[in-house]
Amino acid sequence: MRTALTGFALGSGFQARTMARSVDTYFTLATVPMTTAVLLSMMLYSGRTDLASYAVVAPTLMALWTAALMFAGEMIAEDRENGRLELLVASPVSPTALVFGRLCGAMLVSLPAFGLAIATAGLLFGHWVTVHHPAVFVLSALATALATAATATALSALFIAAPGARIVQNTLSMPVFLLSGVVVPLAFLPLWAAAPGRLLYLSWGADLFRDSLAPGPVEHAAARLAAVLLLGALALAFGTHTMDRFLRRARAEGSLSRV
């Protein structure tokens, strides 16, 4: 447990420092105002002012998932190219904890993303979002960020164990956005699309975010937060199992640098 916590702390600190110097971080954030403007203009000029807050939630979660995909796909490749991968694997801390910690550090991109979305909605459209349930909002943000990092850890482990799986990396954005109801809530989708969407943690997180911005009470908040964390924990368990199997095989075959 101690080595896992040490690995998590080292990974998150390293990634936070790396992101501050990375141009890719700012490219991810640069899409937030544009996405907010497009979605909000569609909702306001179609007369659906009641859905305006959705245009603030969606770009934030889209930036979060986009950053997760980017780092999950590129992190290990960069470590291998820079000669860090062997050192990380040989260290006494858990490699999975290091990866999870680094991806949690990457989730810091969600903080300025939400601020950019709010500022875009307010400055360009005069629609200032009010967080009516701050506690639910903060807990939803933390749970969703952790679940995103856990899911990205599972994807990273999969990309390591099966390098060919990276060809689907760029195709995972739009299907996840649609099936998780990030822009259009699952209640508005047909049953065949809404049912599998409930297996994605983002669907629960998106609903909680939207409810925290609405004046009405947030129903079953604790159970829904637990669903986000449970789905994230299942993804992290899968990632841990996959990465451990890969590392055992790589050590036995001496193939770490060739895979």
- Count of structural domains within the chain: 1
**Residue 224: its pLDDT value, please?**
95
* 78-82, 176-180, 184-188: least confidently modelled range: 78-82
Q: Is residue 258 part of a domain?
A: no
Q: How far is it, in rounded angstroms, from Cα 70 to Cα 170? A: 9
**Residue 251: its pLDDT value, please?**
66
Q: Is residue 160 part of a domain?
A: yes
Residues 1-14 have pLDDT tens digits of 666 677 777 777 77
Q: Is residue 204 part of a domain?
A: yes
Q: Which residues of 39-56 are buried (b: 16+ CB within 10 A; e: fewer)?
A: bbeebbeeeeeebbbbbb
Rg (CA), the chain: 19
**Residue 242: its pLDDT value, please?**
85
Q: Is residue 107 part of a domain?
A: yes
Q: Looking at the predicted structure, is the pLDDT value of residue 40 above 80?
A: yes
The sign of the CA dihedral 16, 166, 238, 243 is: negative
Contacting residues for 138 by C-beta, under 8 A, at least 6 apart = none
Contact 198, 186 (CB under 8 A): yes
Q: Is residue 40 part of a domain?
A: yes
Tell me the angle at which helices 23-45 and 110-125 cross, rounded to the nearest 10 degrees: 40
Q: Looking at the predicted structure, is the pLDDT value of residue 229 above 90?
A: yes
Name the nearest CA neighbour of 69 among 199, 150, 173, 182.
Answer: 173
Residues 199-217 have pLDDT tens digits of 999 999 999 999 999 888 9
Q: Is residue 259 part of a domain?
A: no
DSSP-assigned letter for residue 53: T
Q: What is the pTM of this model?
A: 0.88
Q: Is residue 46 part of a domain?
A: yes
Q: Looking at the predicted structure, is the pLDDT value of residue 158 above 90?
A: no
Q: Is residue 156 part of a domain?
A: yes
- Residue 91 structural domain: 2-253
